[in-house]
């Protein structure tokens, strides 16, 4: 039996930790001794989950940041708050995500699924790159999904915000394809592999994703829940990417069940990844 990995002295920032995979990952990493910085949209829910984690672990330090990943102003504020703490950042776990039955927009006017699932982690990661580099070796991990296949095989750069036609799972798939392209482009831009970037597919997990949608979607989620993985099982590969020495210098990969996993030829195209980076930087007001 392999001994648990000791994460003492490592700081992990996790987004979307109040339910599902994020909550399971936060608890598991706390049990391994990591210092946690947990980012959520709802402070009351966040405090309740942190209380649960503290009751179940001896985690030395758990702090909370509050930000809606659909608000670039809130993301910038949270990033500045983290920087002001002068803490190291060894792992950034971009886990938060959503899917909306109908088209919603953010304060910036961007389609919410694309904004929260892709632009939010893109902006947060870029704002914290100095901390990640200073704490190297460090890791960026994304909760992805095989739902990226629902994007239709490519990203429609002419309609990133689904203004022409909105289909919920196409929009979700596009955002998950964005995660893959972003992680691979980030890996290309960090060639010394001191900051790695990887995506994992958690499998179909019984979680809170989509519960903000219609009554029908909530009923369907309950009906198929017995076939789903538990959040703990779904989080396993993400925890592996955050902690295991075997992947300390593996970067630009897609994983499932702790193993490399096939994505698509489009998701591996460096020209598309570079273009998405430039477009995303422009949408976030960052230099390309």
- Give the position of tokens 């799972």: 169
Nearest to 187 by CA among 200, 197, 174, 177: 197
What dihedral angle (degrees, nearest 10) is formed by the CA atoms of 161, 272, 238, 169? 30
List 172, 200, 240, 254, catalytic entry: 172
- Give the position of tokens 């030829």: 265
**Is there a contact between 123 and 286 (Cβ–Cβ < 8 Å)?**
yes
What lies within 8 Å, CB to CB, of 25 at 6+ separation is 14, 17, 93, 95, 235, 238, 239, 242
172 as an active site residue: the answer is yes
- How far apart (Å, rounded) are the C-alpha atoms in residues 193 and 167? 37
Give the residue numbers annotated as catalytic, written as ranges. 172
């Amino acid at each position: 039996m392999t001994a648990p990995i000791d994460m003492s002295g490592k700081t992990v920032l996790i987004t979307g930790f109040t339910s599902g995979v994020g909550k399971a990952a936060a608890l598991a990493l706390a049990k391994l001794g990591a210092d946690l910085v947990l980012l959520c949209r709802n402070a009351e829910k966040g405090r309740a989950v942190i209380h649960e984690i503290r009751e179940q672990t001896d985690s030395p330090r758990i702090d909370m940041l509050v930000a809606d990943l659909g608000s670039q102003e809130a993301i910038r504020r949270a990033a500045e708050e983290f920087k002001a703490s002068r803490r190291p950042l060894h792992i950034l776990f971009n886990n938060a995500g959503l899917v909306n039955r109908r088209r919603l927009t953010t304060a910036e006017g961007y389609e919410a699924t694309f904004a929260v699932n892709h632009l939010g982690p893109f902006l947060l990661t870029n704002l914290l790159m100095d901390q990640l580099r200073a704490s190297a070796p460090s890791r960026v991990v994304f909760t992805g999904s095989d739902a990226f296949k629902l994007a239709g095989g490519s990203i429609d750069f002419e309609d990133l915000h689904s203004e022409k036609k909105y289909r919920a799972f196409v929009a979700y798939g596009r955002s998950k394809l964005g995660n893959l392209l972003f992680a691979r482009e980030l890996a290309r831009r960090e060639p010394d592999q001191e900051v790695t970037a990887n995506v994992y597919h958690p499998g179909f997990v019984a979680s809170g994703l989509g519960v903000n949608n219609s009554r029908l979607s909530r009923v369907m989620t309950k009906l198929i829940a017995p076939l789903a993985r538990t959040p703990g099982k779904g989080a396993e590969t993400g925890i592996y990417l955050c902690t295991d020495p075997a992947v300390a210098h593996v970067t630009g990969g897609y994983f499932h069940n702790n193993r490399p996993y096939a994505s698509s030829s489009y998701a591996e195209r460096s020209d598309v990844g570079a273009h998405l980076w430039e477009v995303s930087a422009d949408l976030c007001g960052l230099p390309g």
